[in-house]
Amino acid sequence: MLDLFVDYITPACPVCGASTFMRVDPDRLKEWQDGAFVQVAFPEMTDDQRELLVTGTHPECWDKLFVNEDPF
């Protein structure tokens, strides 16, 4: 069976330093790498997944970065 996804290694997380493997559609990955906004190229992803893709920041690490921030 033909695999319709490719492995993408995220940048290293700025908090913990770990990279993450993500399985993504290669056509959408190319669209994003060619300049499309990540939310346009990957509309099915959550905000957390897109943040991980772009910056490598895990949701729990994001929370550590902004632990004392007031959201509004």
Q: What is the pLDDT of residue 2?
A: 62
70 falls within a domain: no
33 falls within a domain: yes
72 falls within a domain: no
What's the pTM? Answer: 0.83
36 Cβ contact list (under 8 Å, min separation 6):
none
Give the pLDDT confidence of 10-50 residue by residue, as tens digits: 999 999 999 999 999 999 999 999 999 999 999 999 999 99
38 falls within a domain: yes
Residue 22: give the domain boundaries: 6-65
14 falls within a domain: yes
Looking at the 3D structure of the chain, how many domains does it have? 1
Q: What is the pLDDT of residue 70?
A: 67
Task: Output the CA–CA distances (angstroms, integers) from residue 36 to 7, 26, 41, 52, 63, in the order listed.
Answer: 19, 14, 6, 17, 27
37 falls within a domain: yes
Taking only Cα atoms into account, the Rg of the chain, rounded to an integer number of angstroms, comes to: 14
Any bridge partners for residue 6, and if so which?
Answer: 24
49 falls within a domain: yes
Please answer whether residues 28 and 6 qualify as being in contact, where contact means their C-beta atoms are separated by less than 8 angstroms. no
How far apart are alpha carbons 21 and 52 in whole angstroms? 10
